[in-house]
Amino acid sequence: MIVFVRVVAACLALALAACAAPAAPVKKRVLTAEGYAQAIREAEKNYSWPADRRPDLEKVIRDSGPTGDEIAEQGLIDIVLAMVNACAWYLSWSDAVRNGRTEQASRQLAVLPTLPVAKIDPGAAQVVEEIAASARAGDTEPAIGYAEANCDNVRWVEIPGA
């Protein structure tokens, strides 16, 4: 829960800073429900996922995207996928640790500090580094806490052979 609060606080700080800055005309790309679904399916291909954990992308789209006549900004896609991607890596790593798969855990540990969610804003980068530092110390609690706070409704696809 602490990780979630930090991420929310970081996002709030970023939003407030944006409000204080002089407004420059920016043409934002907005997407309909159909456009959002198509864009998120394409963007997902650009993410590296752990071998044993992938999200049910259709559920992610239903849960995060616009419906009916609603629209969403293009930037939402990167935020959603980066957060779900972090959850996949954190959960996969903690599963490997819990089940004694030390080689897998070690490989995944190297990925944790480089997760795309760290590029969302400086606050998220700090959270990612703190979770990675805890992971290097063998503490799975922050990684699991992040996943519980941010991805409790994500359904994970069963991957044959994983």
Read off the DSSP letter of residue 32. Answer: -
Q: What pTM did the predictor assign?
A: 0.79
d(CA 139, CA 51): 22
Q: pLDDT tens digits, residue range 31-74?
A: 999 999 999 999 999 999 999 999 999 999 999 999 989 999 98
Q: pLDDT tens digits, residue range 108-131?
A: 999 999 999 999 888 899 999 999
Can you give the pLDDT at residue 22?
52
Q: Which residue has the tokens 């998220």?
A: 124
d(CA 22, CA 24): 6
Q: Is the pLDDT of residue 103 over 60?
A: yes
Can you give the pLDDT at residue 46?
95
**Where is average pLDDT lowest: 7-16, 52-61, 91-100?**
7-16
Can you give the pLDDT at residue 25?
54
Interhelix angle 122-136/2-20, nearest 10 degrees: 160
The secondary structure element, H or E, covering residue 142 is: helix 141-151
